Structure 1
């Protein structure tokens, strides 16, 4: 199992500053997507260090502005949580993540790309019998992801 635990929580709204692009799961599966390129941009530059007023060093991968459900388009964002009302730096955007109820899935430890993909496969399976809100979902890459070969990620899925 890719997911070692899950729990429901209510999370207050917060702001992220980062870079984004519109994509779909279909495009990503066909290697026509943008997610890999955005991660490449993050790691090939000092982008994260230039985000002003970060709350901590965690990196967020946000899925928001869903067209419909997992079959439609959505906006994918990579960035950091910032102090409320922070102005975005040049080339970045600010996103408000609304207050919502989430189920938090925690991956097993392992190679980061592997454990995140495994977890999403289980989340899609879970979604067949549970109601997602498709409001905003996000992954949190914190101190547990410093070693990319032995990482653990929390994935927050908005629920009704």
Structure 2
């Protein structure tokens, strides 16, 4: 794991699924299949790269936890002013401090296990606003979790 600062908001356009952790193992694999059948990232006009993003956002308890329903938007990164085509959705990952976890290259089957390990960690100040998986055309896979800003020391007034 590494901690990094994402200096700008990430805008992703793609297809959207509303699901929950209880349904995820049933709904998400079929959703990925649908994304592939509809042309994958090529269906997103104006995409900035061939990377695929899976953004988890619009949590029922945003800012608190990942329980309840949430949105999963699978698509491609676009410029902030890219028009939203009919039938697709936009997810915005705000500029933020992030914990980034690498998954073994090309091992899509290990992503679920990685999520389980991440959610069991109690040492991360997770924001529960927008998390994402990034899939590179070279097989690289990363999971990025939003973190609360670092506390800044308070200096006493002189």
Q: Cα–Cα, structure 1 residues 143 and 47, in superposed 2: closer, same or farther, change >3 Å?
A: closer
Match of 2:77 in 1: 81
Q: Do structure 1's residue 106 and structure 2's residue 106 form an aligned pair? A: no
Q: Do structure 1's residue 136 and structure 2's residue 130 form an aligned pair? A: yes
Where structure 2 has 5 or more consecutive residues not aligned to the other structure, the ranges are: 149-158
Structure 1 segments (4+ residues) deviating >6 Å: none
Match of 2:147 in 1: 159
- Equivalent residues in 2 for 1:31-70 (5 A)? 31=26, 34-68=27-61, 69-70=65-66
Alignment size in residue pairs: 144
- Give the aligned CA root-mean-square deviation in angstroms: 1.6
Q: Distance in 2 between matches of 1:75 and 1:39?
A: 14
TM-score when scaled to structure 2? 0.83
Larger Rg: 2
Where structure 1 has 5 or more consecutive residues not aligned to the other structure, the ranges are: 1-5, 146-151
Q: Distance in 2 between matches of 1:153 and 1:47?
A: 16
Q: Note the alpha carbon deviations across 1:10-53, whole angstroms, 9 max, x for none.
A: 11202111111211111224x3xx31222011111225212111
Q: Note the alpha carbon deviations across 1:44-81, whole angstroms, 9 max, x for none.
A: 12252121111100000000011121222211110100
